[in-house]
Amino acid sequence: MQSLTNRVKPVDRKPMTFLEKIYLWEIAKGMMITIKHFFKRKPTIKYPEQKREFSSVFRGLHILNRDEQGRERCTACGLCAVACPAEAITMEAAERKTGEEHLYREEKYAARYEINMLRCIFCGLCEEACPKDAIYLSQTFTPSNLTRAQFIYKKDDLLIPDPNKDPEQYAKALGDRKRPQ
Amino acid sequence: MSDAFAILDLLHQNFGASTFTQQPTVDDIPTLWLPKEKIISVTTYLKTGIPQPYNLLYDLCGMDERDRAGKEKLPVKDFTVIYHLFSFERNSFIRLKVALEGEYPSTPSITGQFKNANWYEREVYDMFGIKFEGHPHLQRILMPLTWEGHPLRKEHPARATEIGPYRLLNETIDREQNALQFKPEEWGMQRESDDADFMFLNIGPQHPGTHGVLRIVLQLDGEDIVDAVPEIGFHHRGAEKMGERQSWHTYIPYTDRIDYLGGVMNNLAYLLAVEKLAGIVVPDRVKVIRVMLCELFRISSHLVWFGTFAQDVGQLSPVFYMFTDREKVFDIIEAVCGGRMHPNWFRIGGVAQDLPNGWDGLVRDFVQYFPKKIKEYTDMVIRNSLFKGRTKGIGIYTLEEAIEWGVTGPGLRACGYEWDFRKKRPYSGYEMFNFDIPTAQNGDCYDRAVVRVEELWQSLRIVEQCLNNMPEGSYKADHPLTTPPLKKYTMQDIETLITHFLNVSWGPVIPAGEAMSCIEATKGANSYYLVSDGNTSSYRTRIRTPSFPHMQMVPYVSKGYTVADLLSILGSVDFVLADIDR
Ligand code: SF4
Ligand code: SF4
């Protein structure tokens, strides 16, 4: 078929030389390349002693966020649960009572909040859906577990440490994300 | 686009205007309804009776019309079979639709016209129960032979929990095992010839050379392949059915998993169709960001292919080096998208976030680092004479055969035809970039390999252009259907918050209509054909993947070669099982 444009780039197709036809030489050449790689820096890391860095937007395990005063940000609006394509999130809402203002930022809060990590596909749509900046995906993996039940993360597993009581852990869990966006 | 519609006059002259009913669509593809009696003569005419013929059967799919809202305006009946033909010389598509009536209707098979119609028709039969008269072997293709019902019919449950718990009883095991037994007679194969008994050899479903769960039954005469029957469907997850259940927005992560090496490239194919339906025009920054990410994924996908192909033909080291470099691509992708193989990062009307600070440094480092690596790999693999010995002159097909079987992508370019959808039908701003279309001449395994290696260079060129010319602007389109809307407004103004609520909960309502996208994915042409009836999820999601026709062609090209050559052929085709089965 004739050429349609002049933007074609025919690839290189040199015939084999005599040396190439004696395959032995090629094997030696190939081995040389492999041996050279022995002396290069290792690209692997020794997990679990050594861990690789994740990017700041990495989508790992979920964290339920608190505000600066240590109050839970979630208002149990349910947006994350309906936005979740894998239907991994279950929650129950409750009304905040008087005297609980130091615990919950909004008048409604999540009394129960569960994520099934076996269903979750770590797509991050829950984080994107949340209008309260209350849930985000952190820079860690979900650790392995022995039973299925252990993969259902409860509110206690997900909540970030209180910044007033445990600022160190709080900062660690927050990672180097800038938030709110 | 007047060109695309020029064919209508010819058709009217030849078959009479009353044969066809034209349907307007937003993607500017001429769409014609015709009676099923006419389908053979019309496709034959389009393929052979006109200058600049429609010689590629691009896609063939079915559709259950029974629940479609607003169908009164169309000549629909209970089911529709939809044919997409493509003409390279006209550079245009045509869409033919045949309306079928009844619970389990039938229609003539076009396997006589197009060789690749075979598997497509089997798929339509499998998914809808529509029969094709004259099909040589109409058997389920994706579902197990023992499956009850046809999954894409609207009455078929969409999720396992609606079916009831699965029990593996002894009888079930026997039945399933029995169904998996290969019976050569069913495929018109002899068990012996005059002078030899044939051997039937299963390659797969578990075999490192098949790159996934694929079973190929070989009919062997000694070491030589007499015939082969690929059995696919092990990776079938019902992605098209899920599209009818997920909202337009929450379907995006599922597209990642179609060609799982192509990452955002799948998002793009899907979103281009959605955006056509919604009438969204994205800002230039979005286009360039998308192109850059797509090309990075093309590099990463080609690296996987390169390494595994070298491994298939006996070189064990390259795959390790190439995966290490792929990690470097993934570092960029992770920094930008937050995910790696499943980035889920493009959104309706834009991308999820803006590029992070310092992205340009990462990309620049890679652009500087990678060229010497491609050179090294070319020396190590492509120039290696053992590699040449295993791939040159193996698995040859000609350009005519490639088109007959629906081959697109590097496989087509290896036959000497410079067809690249990025160039010929630019989308997402590819017309702004400078790059060449690598081609080879012989259409053998070696040529397919060198074409892909050359594509690495071209992709790198495009990435570099993105890096140097990233436009300023917003990373989301300013359009009411952009999902989710820009978050910085959501937090402040109630109007956006309400839109945000509706779009992420029910999902955006995409206007009724039909649109098909077509992109040059890593492995060939990838399309999403979406039908909306004005709802929050699609009425029909059809995914045309390149690997499906490519796999269909494997028996044809591997005849006469040896078993060892088959692995070269499989490696050079570069398929992904998830892309075949969807
Ligand atoms: S990351 Fe995705 S799948 Fe996981 S809980 Fe959030 S929305 Fe659901
Ligand atoms: S985490 Fe966010 S989206 Fe989910 S219920 Fe709480 S406030 Fe709503």
Contacts of A16 in chain B (CB under 8 A): 385, 388
Cβ distance of A8 and B336 shorter than 8 Å: no
B525-532 and B519-520 strand pairing: antiparallel
B459, amino acid identity: S
Q: Count the neighbouring beta carbons within 10 Å of the beta carbon of residue B19.
A: 17
Contacts of B488 in chain A (CB under 8 A): 181
Q: Count the neighbouring beta carbons within 10 Å of the beta carbon of residue A24.
A: 9
For residues B218 and A18, the model is more confident at B218
Is the CB of A70 inside a 6 Å radius of any atom of ligand 1?
Answer: no
Is the CB of A105 inside a 6 Å radius of any atom of ligand 2?
Answer: no
Binned at pLDDT 50, 70 and 90, residue A8 comes out as: low
B504 DSSP assignment: H
Alpha carbon distance B215, B200 (integer Å): 12
ipTM score of the complex?
A: 0.79
Cβ distance of A85 and B440 shorter than 8 Å: no
pLDDT at position B488: 64
Contact in structure between B229 and B555 (CB atoms under 8 Å): yes
Where do the domains of chain B lie, and which CATH numbers do they carry? 2-157 (3.30.460.80), 180-231 (no CATH), 239-581 (1.10.645.10)
Q: Least CA distance to A139: which residue of chain B?
A: B338
Cβ distance of B385 and A3 shorter than 8 Å: no
Contact in structure between B459 and B299 (CB atoms under 8 Å): yes
Interface A–B counts its CB contacts (< 8 A) at 143
Task: Kindly tell me the sign of the dihedral angle through the C-alpha atoms of B214, B217, B223, B227.
Answer: negative
Q: Least CA distance to A121: which residue of chain B?
A: B253
Instruction: Check CB contact of A18 with chain B, cutoff 8 Å.
Output: no
Give residues with Cβ within 8 angstroms of A156, minimum separation 6: none
- 3-state class (DSSP) for residue B408: coil
pLDDT at position B425: 87
Q: How many C-alpha atoms does A76 have within 13 Å on its Cβ side?
A: 19
For residues A1 and B141, the model is more confident at B141
Q: Which of B214, B277, B323, B343 is nearest to B539 (CA)?
A: B277
pLDDT at position B123: 92
- 3-state class (DSSP) for residue A90: strand
Contacts of B355 in chain A (CB under 8 A): none
Give residues with Cβ within 8 angstroms of A68, minimum separation 6: A163
Contact in structure between B547 and B261 (CB atoms under 8 Å): no
Instruction: Check CB contact of B158 with chain A, cutoff 8 Å.
Output: no
Give residues with Cβ within 8 angstroms of B315, minimum separation 6: A30, B380, B381, B384, B386, B387
Helices B284-312 and B264-278: crossing angle in degrees, nearest 10, is: 140
Alpha carbon distance B506, B498 (integer Å): 12
- 3-state class (DSSP) for residue A13: coil
Question: What DSSP line would sit under B411-441, residue for residue?
Answer: HHHTTT----HHHHS--TTGGGS---EEE-S
Is the CB of A121 inside a 6 Å radius of any atom of ligand 1?
Answer: yes
Give residues with Cβ within 8 angstroms of B9, minimum separation 6: none
Alpha-carbon B343 to chain mean position: 18
pLDDT (tens digit, 0 to 9) for every residue of chain B, 582 residues total?
Answer: 447 777 888 888 888 778 888 888 888 888 888 888 888 888 888 888 888 888 889 999 999 888 888 777 778 888 999 999 998 888 888 999 998 888 889 899 988 888 889 999 999 999 998 998 888 888 889 888 888 889 988 888 888 788 888 888 888 899 888 888 888 888 777 777 778 788 888 887 888 777 778 888 888 888 888 888 898 888 898 899 988 888 888 899 999 899 888 889 999 999 999 998 888 888 888 999 999 999 999 999 999 999 898 888 888 888 888 998 999 999 999 988 888 888 889 988 888 888 888 888 889 999 999 998 888 888 888 877 778 878 887 888 888 888 888 899 898 888 888 888 888 888 888 888 888 888 888 888 888 888 899 899 999 999 988 888 888 888 888 887 777 777 666 666 777 777 777 777 777 888 888 899 899 988 989 999 999 988 888 899 999 999 999 999 888 888 888 888 888 888 888 888 889 988
Q: Which residues of B22-44 are buried (b: 16+ CB within 10 A; e: fewer)?
A: ebebbbebbbbbbebebbbbbbe
Contacts of B380 in chain A (CB under 8 A): 30, 33
Q: Retrieve residue A46's tokens.
A: 């020794």
pLDDT at position B186: 80
What is the distance in A from the centroid of ligand 2 to the CA of A110? 8
Strand partners for B96: B32, B83
Cβ distance of B317 and A5 shorter than 8 Å: no
Angle among Cα B336, A181, B266 to the nearest 5 degrees reads 35
Q: Retrieve residue B67's tokens.
A: 């629940």
Residue A14 has pLDDT above 70, yes or no: no
What is the distance in A from the centroid of ligand 1 to the CA of B213? 27
Contact in structure between B35 and B385 (CB atoms under 8 Å): no
Alpha carbon distance A129, A126 (integer Å): 5
- Outline where DSSP puts E strands in B314-455: 346-347, 350-351, 437-439
Is the CB of A76 inside a 6 Å radius of any atom of ligand 1?
Answer: no
Is the CB of A65 inside a 6 Å radius of any atom of ligand 2?
Answer: no
Q: Which of A131, A79, A86, A129 is nearest to B246 (CA)?
A: A86
Out of A3, A23, A85, closest to residue B254 by CB: A85
A178, amino acid identity: K
Q: Is A31 left (phi over 0), alpha (psi -120 to 50) or beta?
A: alpha
pLDDT at position B1: 43
Is the CB of A89 inside a 6 Å radius of any atom of ligand 1?
Answer: yes
pLDDT at position A4: 44
Contact in structure between B20 and B12 (CB atoms under 8 Å): yes
Q: Least CA distance to A45: which residue of chain B?
A: B324
Q: Least CA distance to A17: which residue of chain B?
A: B385
Question: What DSSP line would sit under B61-86, residue for residue?
Answer: EEEE-TT-TTGGGTT--SEEEEEEEE
Q: Least CA distance to B490: which residue of chain A?
A: A131
pLDDT at position B83: 92
Q: Which residues of B449-479 are buried (b: 16+ CB within 10 A; e: fewer)?
A: bbbbbbbbbbbbbbbbbbbeebeeebbbbeb
Residue B227 belongs to what H/E stretch? Answer: strand B224-231
The whole-model pTM stands at 0.87
Please give the class, per CATH, of domain A62-174. Answer: alpha beta
- 3-state class (DSSP) for residue B222: coil
Alpha carbon distance B272, B528 (integer Å): 8
- 3-state class (DSSP) for residue B477: coil
Q: Retrieve residue B19's tokens.
A: 């044969």
pLDDT at position A2: 43
Alpha carbon distance B283, B285 (integer Å): 5
What is the distance in A from the centroid of ligand 2 to the CA of A151? 20
Task: Kindly tell me the sign of the dihedral angle through the C-alpha atoms of B21, B24, B25, B30.
Answer: positive
B528 DSSP assignment: E
B500 DSSP assignment: H
Q: Which site among B415, B487, B497 would you substitute to test the A interface, given the most A Cβ atoms closer than 10 Å to its Cβ? A: B487
Interface of B with A in 436-475 (CB under 8 A): 436-441, 447, 450-451, 453-454, 458
Alpha carbon distance B209, B519 (integer Å): 28
Q: Which of B4, B523, B518 is nearest to B268 (CA)?
A: B518
